[in-house]
Chains A and B, each alone.
Chain A
Amino acid sequence: MAEKILEVSDLQVSYLSSRKTPFEKKKRIQVLKDVSFSMEKGEILGLVGESGSGKTTLARAILGMIPYEGTITKNAQRAQMVFQDPYGSLNPARKVSWILEEPLRLKGGLSKDERKEKVIAMLSRVGLDEKFMDRYPRQLSGGQRQRVCIAGALMLEPSLLIADEPVSALDVTIQAQILELFQKIHEEMGLSILFISHDLRVVYQMCDRILIMQHGQIMESGTVEEVYFHHKSEYTGKLLDAAGIEVD
């Protein structure tokens, strides 16, 4: 059995609701309930569920951005995230070269020229050329921005990448290109990717295994084959129906 890169067991995430009236008691709202799963090294794991099912919350908990109960064991250094909205995830006041150099600067130990070299190499890896170095994010299209975001996430050579609906803000032709890029870097760098999406077709194309989430719980998990053709949960069937995927 392959090495585990991520193990989550009994994960609980909840937050206090804000009061509507001053004397109301703050209610605790449970977003994730008893979430347990594991992820193997080098696989693409799809996380599917409707809006509000806790997909992004799960990603944030894994990255340690929000408080949680339960255990998360990461066997990866500096897991990185690609965000849903490519317009908000690049600093509008900085050039692409600065944005991509920043992770290296923070890590330290590289000279200016070495950093620049790495940035150029990474840009070509995500399918952009050198002339994008001196551009500001506002001068890029959505697809180009998402490529820069991916490049930024890969600068520190993480072994785990979390992609939170990375293509849902893009139009269909660009979506295909970005998905191709994900597959390419997955093969080239042996990267494990937790791919969050609500689009079952995209997940079918991308992923090795799939988790189906509803109301903060994992309803079903298994390989693409199992989930799409031999699903056990009624909810999965509904999702497949809604996506217009013929199962039989």
Chain B
Amino acid sequence: MSDKAKNNMIRTKRVKVQSVNRSKKKNYNLIVGGSITGVILLMILIGVFYTPYDPNAMDASAKFAGISMKHLMGCDNFGRDVFSRVLEGSRTTLIVAAGTVFIGTFFGVIIGALTGYYGGVVDEVLMRINDAIFAFPSILLALVFISIFGSGKYHVIIALGIAFIPSFARIVRSEFIKCKNMDYVKSAKLQGAGDFRIMFVHILPNTLTVLLSAIMIGFNNAVLAEAGMSFLGIGVQPPDASLGRMLSEAQSYLFRAPSYALFPGVIIILMVLGFSLLGDGLKDE
């Protein structure tokens, strides 16, 4: 064997060893994402039972108060405690995002399963409707819904939820198309399993890895969409606090009270970052 060939062999061996090491490396995405998400969830949970001040209580003497021990994140234009409002606002944002993702996932899975499994006419009809919804930007679709049915937390959830259905339906559909011709599906049929049992008991668990990362991404998009809608004034209505709503109120006082805009923004970023890292981490597991 020539020296060159030997060298090549040694090199390949080395590469192999490295790749083994890499797979044993700690899953930093999961750790960091999990910690950020955990801290935020803990904060929200504490906020349910205890906030330093009533989030809606106004105090004229504390108007635009800066960061101090009394007001950890300062005060807003009505003298309301920003920290208390951030706690309450992130809860609203979380509920809206979770509700949106729930609606999107629930109906997306049903539509995706039916279209992917049956194909044919069912597939054509449902997927064309799906495409039609998908063609509108989700914010625009939600805007139309809000302008017809009125604003408010629950309407935002429904509006965004509907807008989120198509993306989930597509992902689930492609997974079902992949799985439905596998031998285990045929063998379940032979054993006498009905269509719905095959779809939701046999095939659905096999789509969970893909579905889970889609849920994480969807959750991020929902957080941003809610913040965007509230920022535009068509989302959560005052006096309810939501992170987007607070940002929108804070923009007028950006120079007088920068902390008012800073903290809700930071929490939105952390929420999105935490969940995307968590999603990536879970995918690698």
Interface residues of A (CB under 8 A from B): 63, 65, 78-81, 83, 85, 88-94, 102-103, 106-107, 149, 152-153, 155-156
Contacts and interface: CB of A to CB of B under 8 A. Distances in A.
Nearest to B208: A93
B282 to A, nearest CB: 15
A63 B190 contact: yes
B187 A65 contact: no
A106 B202 CA distance: 12
A79, A80, A88: residue with the most chain B Cβ atoms closer than 10 Å: A88
A65 B186 contact: yes
Interface string B177-200: 000001110111111110001000
B206 A91 contact: yes
The 6 closest A-B pairs by CB, nearest first: A93-B205, A89-B183, A88-B183, A103-B191, A83-B183, A91-B184
B184 A156 contact: no
A145 B192 CA distance: 21
A83 B189 contact: no
B187 A106 contact: no
Nearest to A107: B192
A63, A80, A83: residue with the most chain B Cβ atoms closer than 10 Å: A83
A136 to B, nearest CB: 11
Main secondary structure of the interface of A (DSSP, over half): loop
Nearest to B191: A103
Interface string B115-126: 000000000000
Contact of A91 (B190, B197, B202): B202
A102 B206 contact: no
Interface of B: 182-184, 186-193, 197, 202, 205-206, 208
A106 B190 contact: no
Main secondary structure of the interface of B (DSSP, over half): helix
Nearest to A65: B186
A153 B191 CA distance: 8
10 contacts: A80-B187, A88-B182, A88-B184, A89-B182, A89-B183, A92-B206, A94-B205, A102-B193, A152-B191, A155-B191
B205 A81 contact: no
Nearest to B187: A89
B191 A90 contact: no
A150 B187 CA distance: 11
A80, A91, A92: residue with the most chain B Cβ atoms closer than 10 Å: A91
A69 B192 CA distance: 23
Contacts of A81: 186-187, 190
A90 B202 CA distance: 10
Contacts of A149: 187
A195 to B, nearest CB: 17
Contacts of B184: 88-92
A126 to B, nearest CB: 15
Nearest to B204: A93
Nearest to A82: B187
Given A81-B187, A103-B191, 13 more contacts: A78-B191, A80-B187, A85-B183, A88-B183, A88-B184, A89-B186, A90-B184, A91-B188, A92-B184, A94-B202, A102-B191, A107-B192, A149-B187
Contacts of A65: 186, 189-190
Contacts of A80: 187, 190-191
B192 A78 contact: yes
A91 B184 CA distance: 6
B172 to A, nearest CB: 14
A244 B58 CA distance: 95
A212 B197 CA distance: 38
Nearest to B201: A102
A173 to B, nearest CB: 24
Nearest to B209: A93
A93 B182 CA distance: 13
B185 to A, nearest CB: 8
Nearest to A64: B190
B183 A106 contact: no
B206 A93 contact: yes
B191 A156 contact: yes
Contacts of A155: 191
B57 to A, nearest CB: 51
A162 B190 CA distance: 12
B206 A106 contact: no
Contact of B187 (A79, A93, A94, A152): A152
Contacts of B205: 91, 93-94
A103 B184 CA distance: 12
